[in-house]
Amino acid sequence: MHITAHELRTRYLAFFASKGHAVIPSASLVPANDPTVLFTTAGMHPLVPYLLGEPHPAGARLTDVQKCVRTGDIDAIGDATHLTFFEMLGNWSLGDYGRDEAIAWSFEFLVDHLGVPPDRLGVTCFAGDADVPEDTASQRSWRALGVERIARLGRDDNWWGPAGDTGPCGPDTEIFTWIGDEPPRGFEPGDRRWVEIWNNVFMEYERTASGQIVPLPRRSVDTGMGVERTLVALNGLASVYEVDTMQPIIDELRAPGLGERELRIVSDHVRAACAMIADGVLPSNKDRGHVLRRLLRRAMVHARRLPPDWYRRAVTRVAAALGDVYPELARPAIADVIATEVTRFEVALARSLRELERRPVLDGKVAFDLFQTHGIPLEIAREMAEATGARIDEAGFRDELARHRDRSRTQAGTFAGGLADHSVEIVRYHTLTHLLQAALRAVLGDHVLQRGSNLTRDRLRFDFSHGGKLSPGELARVEQLVNGWLARDLVVERATMSPADARGLGAIGAFGEKYGDTVSVYTIRDGDTVISREFCGGPHVAGSRDLAGSFRIVREEPVAAGVRRIKAVLDPVRT
């Protein structure tokens, strides 16, 4: 039996709806509730506040299909299993049902609704360690269903979280299906013919600031099933590039002289780029925009043998393959954004060629700059050097690359925090972003909308739509407005309602965000005057009395065309 991506999504959501789950829409690839990551990398990221205790407006049982982006395995793109953009099916219990129901429903869906033979299933469970005992309960649940292939693995394989330094975490059980001819009697998860298709995480513990693992008062379930990998297993395919949401792009771009791996890289990267641009990310030299630029330029390098209109044809195929579930992919501006980046890259290549022509040897630092700043990989720089008779210091390049990776790891540690750790400081800065947006809209106009944020315990960073640099006077007025509100007795209120009712009350939301039938709205009031009203999952402080301090803008700068960024702090009150 062959099953399409549309059929898999439809069956999954219908199944869990029949079990009392509310079907919620996919969130944006730009995280609204987990500023510790650049992109939404899993179905749970948009639900972090609710997994930490905030009530979800749709209830305690949720299910969805979430679009995700992961770039950590970019060097593996083109093999049989890795994609940059992918879809994740998930179901959640927010303090409602536990592992017995989650495991039973996973088994029921796979066997009764997808037709997976029970004798082709194997599972892994947490083996326990010094902090947490072995997960024997999951093993009992699986055996009660007749599943006997159970491997007990450690924390590296069967433990999730926390997302930051602190927060909810717990054991998980991973479900594998055999894709070979005759399934073996035993179960060795390392055998590539056992393909993992589903993971059930039981958030039963919390890691505290002191590093202790303690039981959570409210336990939750978080599951994830990768759409593409599941289709590979169910349909007996050789790779994720053969699923019906990837194959049309591959077929459109296939051309003489373009190797299979190059073809896969180009198809993968342009698909991911379309999804990012559709959610408001634009090429730049910072953060998400930098990731997008690197993906596009890597695709351009491998697409050099394709006709000039390759990306427009690819964009059309992406929209046709995924537009039914993600209509934002049909936006005409996507191809135009890529076209502009193609032109920029051609200029960068010409500049690089001039650099090579005037140097007999290209030292490692300059070669790395071509790679890091302009997206020109070493192998292309090598080809260009050979054409001009120059030579590249490849050992120096590798040294620079290693130093850059070390710096990146160090800097990544400085961004620990975000709503994932639910600290008092993070919640305060989250509320301040609402006041900042209200002030920006009052000073600059209603065209201002949030385009991203990042919070640490020490500062907020807020990206917003605006066409030009703010003047010193405009920045001063924004600061004055926020500090004036902080001096008042503001109250923060939460309510749930339909999106239409929320918009009717003037609530605003994040760019590209989709909303379900019921939404959470936070209103900040000064008596009867509404200062801010936004679609938001929270959490927030109760009022301005919890925001004692002086709001100060540290920096205002461009991020991408039409997007500005403000970094700000809340200085303590001087006594």
Residue 575: predicted pLDDT: 53
Mean pLDDT, residues 478-506 taken together: 92
- Partnered with residue 556 across adjacent β-strands are 566
Pick the more confident residue, 128 or 380: 128
Which band of pLDDT confidence, cut at 50, 70 and 90, is reported for residue 364? Answer: confident
Residue 378: predicted pLDDT: 75
Residue 353: predicted pLDDT: 74
Q: In whole numbers, what is the pLDDT of the chain averaged over residues? A: 88
Contact residues for 112 (Cβ-Cβ < 8 A; gap 6+): none
User: Residue type at 275?
Assistant: A
Positive or negative, the Cα torsion across 52, 408, 510, 44?
negative
- pLDDT, one tens digit per residue, over 31-88 is 875 556 789 988 888 888 888 788 899 999 999 999 999 988 888 899 988 999 999 9
Residue 417: predicted pLDDT: 33
d(CA 484, CA 490): 11
Domain 5-242 fold = BirA Bifunctional Protein; domain 2 (3.30.930)
Pick the more confident residue, 157 or 36: 157
Letter string b/e over residues 34-72, b meaning 16 or more CB atoms within 10 A of that residue's CB: bbbbbbbbbbbbbbbbbbbbbbbbbebbbbbbbbbbbbe
- pLDDT, one tens digit per residue, over 391-443 is 888 888 888 878 876 665 544 433 333 345 567 888 899 999 999 999 999 99
Domain 424-571 fold = Threonyl-tRNA Synthetase; Chain A, domain 2 (3.30.980)
Share of the chain above pLDDT 90, in %: 59
In angstroms, the first-to-last Cα distance of the chain is 73
d(CA 303, CA 250): 12
What crossing angle do the helices spanning 260-278 and 333-357 adopt, rounded to 10°? Answer: 120
Helix (H) or strand (E) holding 291: helix 287-302
Residue 375: predicted pLDDT: 65
Report whether 95 contacts 218 (CB < 8 A). Answer: yes
Q: Say if 5-242 and 424-571 have the same CATH topology.
A: no
Residue 400: predicted pLDDT: 83
Range with the largest mean pLDDT of 202-211, 326-335, 361-370, 535-544: 326-335
Domain boundaries, the chain: 5-242, 246-344, 358-415, 424-571
Residues in the chain: 575
Residue 421: predicted pLDDT: 58
Residue 48 main-chain phi, psi, to 5 deg: -55, -50
User: Residue type at 498?
Assistant: S
- pLDDT, one tens digit per residue, over 512-564 is 667 778 888 999 999 999 999 999 888 888 888 888 889 999 999 988 778 89
CA distances from 321 to 173, 225, 244 (A): 32, 20, 7
Contact residues for 98 (Cβ-Cβ < 8 A; gap 6+): 202, 219, 221
d(CA 26, CA 227): 14
